[in-house]
């Protein structure tokens, strides 16, 4: 019996010894291996662009009982080209971390509409209008650090990611505005037995260039989005995603350009628009708000490396 017990014990030990490595190997093969996923996508972004702004002034002078000159600059924001590259380190079957760097650049256009409405003290009314196009550019480079959640399948895989983003922004714009002016001349003529004063007053408006000088700034925000991958093989896949980039807005003041300008009505010419006028006009203007936040839709490729 002792020999039989010893033989059974030896057989059991051999069986356990042969089974343990296979079990361990099976468990090891089932464990997810960390790997890298690289995505490069191209697409369109719809940034917030710039808000509308306005210059408005109301004044009286000599024979003019009321003058209102007003300019409204309406900003237009077309879609912007964008590209982004990301590198994701997959920690487990479902989770990973991701770093991304992108850029979207938007060519801005605007319409500047000017109106001059005036009333003379004799009750006569009048008005004059003008319009000018404007240009600009908004560029934003988001650097993102995200947490990734993913669901992988045989052909289709889905993912979502979100996290903080550091935005490197730049903005520049040019436009025009009207600026109402008036010139008064007093002529004294001796009509015996008295001197008689005659007042001659002319009204016009200057087309003054406006600018937001090229400015760069950095802001902290966030990004959130997700997408789908369609496998083309062991390493390559097609990818499509939608992502929202949130960056805090910033206000800008239009800079009025001093110089000598001809009036839009052709009444007053080579009129000096001084630095004092520029400060006065800026004080009567609203700020334009620039919003680098953008919604992005893109497609591209994914490369997986184990």
Q: What does the DSSP assignment read for 43-88?
A: EEEEEEEE--EEEEEEEEETTEEEEEEEEEEEEE---EEEEEEEEE
Residue scoring higher pLDDT (154 or 242): 242
Compute the average pLDDT of residues 90-102. 94
Judged by DSSP in three states, 4 sits in: helix
Q: At 190, is the pLDDT very low, low, confident or very high (cuts 50, 70, 90)? A: low
CB neighbour list of residue 91: distance below 8 Å, 6 or more residues apart: 34, 97
Q: At 179, is the pLDDT very low, low, confident or very high (cuts 50, 70, 90)? A: very high
Q: What is the pLDDT of residue 33?
A: 54
Residue scoring higher pLDDT (15 or 75): 75
Does residue 39 sit within a domain?
yes
Does residue 1 sit within a domain?
no
Q: What angle do CA 207, 212, 218 make, to 5 degrees?
A: 170
Give the percent of the chain with pLDDT over 90: 75
Report, in angstroms and rounded to the nearest whole number, the Rg of the chain calculated over CA atoms: 35
With beta carbons less than 8 A apart as the criterion, state whether 301 and 83 touch: no
pLDDT digits (tens, 9 = 90+) for 286-304: 999 999 999 999 999 999 9
Give, rounded to a whole angstrom, the gap between the first and last alpha carbons of the chain: 55
pLDDT digits (tens, 9 = 90+) for 244-288: 999 999 999 999 999 999 999 999 999 999 999 999 999 999 999
Alpha helices by DSSP H, the chain: 2-30, 275-283
Query: C-alpha distances in angstroms, 82 versus 85, 167, 197, 271?
Result: 11, 14, 67, 45
State how beta strands 125-152 and 35-50 pair. Answer: unpaired
Q: At 120, is the pLDDT very low, low, confident or very high (cuts 50, 70, 90)? A: very high
Does residue 256 sit within a domain?
yes
pLDDT tops 90 at residue 56: yes
User: CATH no. for residue 83?
Assistant: 2.40.160.20
Q: What is the pLDDT of residue 26?
A: 41
Q: Which among 268, 143, 161, 149 is positioned nearest to 205, based on CA atoms?
A: 268
Q: What is the pLDDT of residue 34?
A: 53
Does residue 5 sit within a domain?
no
CA distance 17 to 68: 97
Domain count across the chain: 1
Compute the average pLDDT of residues 71-85. 89
Does residue 4 sit within a domain?
no
Compute the average pLDDT of residues 179-196. 82
Compute the average pLDDT of residues 229-241. 94
Does residue 7 sit within a domain?
no
Does residue 155 sit within a domain?
yes
Compute the average pLDDT of residues 164-168. 98
Beta-bridged to residue 118, according to DSSP, are 67, 126
pLDDT digits (tens, 9 = 90+) for 14-45: 333 433 344 434 433 444 455 899 999 999 99
Compute the average pLDDT of residues 161-178. 97
Q: Which among 176, 237, 186, 165 is positioned nearest to 209, based on CA atoms?
A: 176
Give the predicted TM-score (pTM) of the model: 0.82
Give the percent of the chain with pLDDT over 70: 89
Q: At 236, is the pLDDT very low, low, confident or very high (cuts 50, 70, 90)? A: very high
Long-range contacts of 130-133 (CB under 8 A, 24+ apart): 130/178, 130/205, 130/207, 130/264, 132/175, 132/176, 132/207, 133/109
Does residue 12 sit within a domain?
no
The residue segments making up the domain with residue 248 are: 32-305
């Amino acid at each position: 019996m002792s020999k039989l017990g010893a033989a059974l014990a030896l057989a059991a030990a051999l069986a356990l010894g042969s089974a343990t490595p296979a079990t361990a190997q099976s468990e090891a093969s089932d464990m997810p291996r960390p790997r890298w996923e690289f995505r490069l996508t191209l697409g369109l972004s719809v940034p917030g662009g710039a808000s509308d702004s306005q210059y408005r002034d109301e004044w009286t002078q000599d024979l003019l009982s009321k003058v209102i000159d007003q300019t409204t600059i309406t900003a237009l924001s077309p879609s912007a080209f964008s590209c982004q590259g990301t590198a994701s380190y997959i920690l487990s079957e479902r989770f990973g971390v991701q770093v991304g760097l992108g850029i979207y650049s938007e060519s801005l256009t605007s319409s500047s509409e000017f109106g001059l409405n005036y009333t003379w003290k004799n009750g006569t009314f009048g008005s004059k209008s003008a319009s000018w196009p404007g240009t600009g550019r908004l560029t934003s480079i988001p650097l993102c650090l995200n947490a990734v959640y993913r669901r992988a399948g045989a052909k289709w895989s889905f993912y979502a990611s979100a996290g903080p983003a550091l935005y490197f922004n730049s903005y520049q714009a040019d436009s025009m505005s009207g600026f109402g002016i008036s010139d008064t001349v007093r002529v004294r003529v001796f009509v015996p037995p008295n001197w008689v004063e005659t007042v001659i007053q002319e009204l016009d408006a200057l087309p003054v260039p406006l600018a937001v000088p090229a400015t760069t700034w950095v802001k902290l925000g966030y990004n959130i989005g997700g997408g789908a991958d369609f496998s083309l093989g062991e390493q390559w896949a097609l990818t499509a995603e939608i992502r929202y980039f949130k960056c805090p807005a910033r206000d800008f003041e239009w800079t009025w350009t001093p110089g000598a300008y001809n009036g839009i009505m052709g009444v007053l010419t080579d009129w000096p628009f001084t630095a004092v006028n520029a400060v006065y006009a800026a004080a009567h203007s609203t700020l334009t708000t620039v919003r680098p936040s953008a919604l992005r839709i893109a497609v591209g490729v994914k490369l997986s490396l184990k």
